[in-house]
Structure 1
Amino acid sequence: MPFIDNILFHSSVSIVGLEKNTGKTETLNYILNRLRTMDVQVALTSIGVDGEHTDSVTRTPKPEITLFEGMIFVTSEKHYSERKITSEILEVSEMRTALGRLITARAKSWGKVILSGPSDTAGIKRLIDGMARFDVQTTIVDGALSHLSLASPAVTEAMVLATGAALSANTPQLVRETRFVQQLIELPAVEAKLAGELQTIKGGIWAIDAEDRLHDLEIPSVFLLDKREEDIFRFGTRIYVSGAVSDKLLSFLRIQNKNVELAVGDFTKLFVSQKEFNAFLKSGNSIKSVLRSKLIAVTVNPLSPSGFLLDSDTLQREMKKALNVPVYDVKNM
């Protein structure tokens, strides 16, 4: 499939599921199985933990991650010791997770692993940047969309999105929800120099003046905005929110009638409805993202966990029409 070749045009690609049971791990295994026949060096890691026998929340069986000889992988000490694969250690990092230091290793056979990589965006970025010393062409990140995660898949250059009936068993609704996520992923990017400065900010709400200088508004939470209304725009109408953005924030900014330019860390920070998102933009406001990834393909799983099966041909056709990217049925790849 063409999107496999497209993956290798990028130094990093995340595989992201919009919901549990949308086929993310099946998509990842398909990609790895195809890449093993190509003369390229790839590396693999994860945001959070993936590759377990059973889902840690639902306790249902889930596909395990299968690696092939020559592939490089990065996981925690705990899960490296539990691997079902012959491998050689290339590096023991000082970067730590709750499950121990990170181990970089090369597979010497095919086998199964549990992946648990860096727990924050900065850690994922350092890992990707460091893969060059192992002659890695593309680093694949098993991604996560979760408000519980401090790491974002948007740190990668490109992204493959897994969606399906587990998100919605109604085809038009599923297409609309997936299209909305694509809109968030493809938000315009903040200018490169300013984006670099914004990435160093760890918290709070900041103003950006006409000379791109940053000003801490000293508002620790968006919930306190209405009590500091007079302070927000004293440096202009460009605002950076380092944390989560909700419908309440968009609504508050919209009713100020200021043509606000809102900057966010990346699309995973937007916990907003399509209705409020659209209303914000239609009112003359804009949203830009510090980190921006390119959506290169979508995979769909037409089977829901409850056993409901969507028509695959219709789903793929409607999804392609709405998203204008390659779409594949994960059950028939």
Structure 2
Amino acid sequence: MTLIDDIVESRSVSVVGLEKNTGKTECLNYIIRNLPAGRVKVAVTSIGVDGETTDSVTGTSKPEIFLREGMLFSTSEKHYLQRRILSELLDVSDESTALGRVVTARALDYGNLLLSGPSTGKGLGRWIRKMETLGAGLTLIDGAISRLSSASPAISEAMVLSTGAALSANIAELVRKTAHTVGLIMAEKYSGPGYERMSGLEGGGIWNICTDGSIRQVPSGMSALSLASVKDNLARGFAGIYVSGALTDRLVDRIIADGAGDGFEIVARDFTKVFVSPSCVARMERAGIMLKMLMTSRLLAVCVNPVSPNGIILDSSRLCGALEEKLPVPVYDLFRLDS
């Protein structure tokens, strides 16, 4: 199956970048341009501000968001008033952003615009449900830089990841960083003892997974920032540990120091809650510790931009080949496919 085939088979897809200027918006535009006409009604929004003609940080030119006739789109009141596309207003929601309420409309022609939709993960979840009531069979989310939350499996069903020369000018380093993130995204789903109870828990916190299948909450208020004050052993005598908040290097090192070893499971809510370094993952592997996710994401592909804003141009064939050797998903240079 091609990337477009995989996307059409999904109900919601987030497009997220590992770094600014890795081609995320070009990837979204490629998807929009190549979706089969009339096969599915599409709705699109962004968790940040996307579609600017000029990058606010680097000052370089940027691609605008492209829409096709009949597509639904949601943006802030400010950017809706600035649109350069003929549209039919469908809804003005109570969802508020720094740029006003979120406005939903149907494109009546082809054109470009700025997208600035819901600014939170919960807001995106409500937006997806709203688009479904308006008949959308596929929702597309343009995720903002450093906002991987839009790709959380609690929000979108599938995701496309963009990477490129803006992340690193060194191919080996770029591949290492990309492979690390892909490894977290595609980590094994946890289905062991306590799964149903963990799934129903809300808010932050840490729970020991006991050998009898029960789970026990670590002292209230404990977090990665308050480890020094916790005297309880986090690992010895337990089968694993569930971290519903941020999983960090410091927390993993404490778990290892407390005796976690071969077969011990560290469970995170999903990959967007994991902030561990490649060296930390290596320490877990050496200790025989397994990292699993309560909710897993479906990564459809990795898209590559071999050009950075400061003029660095990587060899696309070498880059794609190196990524394909390390990644279990398709790798595309959409710039080359479009040329």
- Name the counterpart of 1:330: 334
Aligned AA (1:117): G
- Name the counterpart of 2:203: 202
2:183 is the counterpart of 1:183 = yes
Aligned AA (2:252): L
Distance 2:232 2:324 in 1: 46
1:111-122 residue pairs with structure 2 within 5 A?
Answer: 111-122=111-122
Identity %: 47
SS at match of 2:9: coil
Distance 2:67 2:286 in 1: 47
Deviation at 1:103, TM superposition (A): 1.5
Distance 1:131 1:173 in 2: 39
SS at match of 2:251: helix
SS at match of 1:254: helix
Unaligned 5+ runs, structure 1? none
- Name the counterpart of 1:227: 229
Greater CA drift, 307-316 or 128-137: 128-137
Distance 1:202 1:145 in 2: 24
- Name the counterpart of 1:287: 291
TM-score (norm 1): 0.90
- Name the counterpart of 2:16: 16
2:90 is the counterpart of 1:90 = yes
CA contact (8 A) 1:205 1:241 kept: yes
Distance 1:242 1:183 in 2: 19
Correspondent of 1:302 among 301, 306, 322: 306
Change (3 A) 1:236 1:319: same
SS at match of 2:226: helix
Greater CA drift, 37-46 or 3-12: 37-46
- Name the counterpart of 1:315: 319
1:3-82 residue pairs with structure 2 within 5 A?
Answer: 3-35=3-35, 37-82=37-82
CA contact (8 A) 1:44 1:141 kept: yes
Aligned AA (1:261): E
- Name the counterpart of 2:220: 218
CA contact (8 A) 1:207 1:235 kept: no
Change (3 A) 1:240 1:144: farther
Deviation at 1:212, TM superposition (A): 4.9
Aligned AA (2:270): D
Correspondent of 2:256 among 254, 257, 271: 254
Change (3 A) 1:145 1:283: farther
Distance 1:101 1:217 in 2: 40
Distance 2:103 2:70 in 1: 16
Distance 1:52 1:234 in 2: 52
CA contact (8 A) 1:208 1:235 kept: no
Change (3 A) 1:106 1:67: same
Aligned AA (1:277): V
1:273-310 CA deviation, whole Å, 9 max, x = no partner?
11111211331322222332111111111112221211
Distance 2:115 2:25 in 1: 12
Greater CA drift, 305-314 or 11-20: 305-314
1:56-80 CA deviation, whole Å, 9 max, x = no partner?
3333321110111100111222222
- Name the counterpart of 1:266: 270
Deviation at 1:108, TM superposition (A): 0.7
CA contact (8 A) 1:262 1:286 kept: yes
Change (3 A) 1:321 1:194: farther
Change (3 A) 1:196 1:116: farther
Change (3 A) 1:7 1:54: same
Aligned AA (2:112): K
Distance 1:46 1:320 in 2: 29
Change (3 A) 1:244 1:59: farther
Greater CA drift, 202-211 or 166-175: 202-211
Change (3 A) 1:290 1:49: farther
CA contact (8 A) 1:280 1:286 kept: yes
* Number of residue pairs matched by the alignment: 329
SS at match of 2:10: coil
Distance 1:82 1:190 in 2: 46
Change (3 A) 1:75 1:235: farther
SS at match of 1:223: coil
SS at match of 1:20: coil
1:198-241 CA deviation, whole Å, 9 max, x = no partner?
3xx22343445555556363134312213213164699454333
Deviation at 1:38, TM superposition (A): 4.7
TM-score (norm 2): 0.88
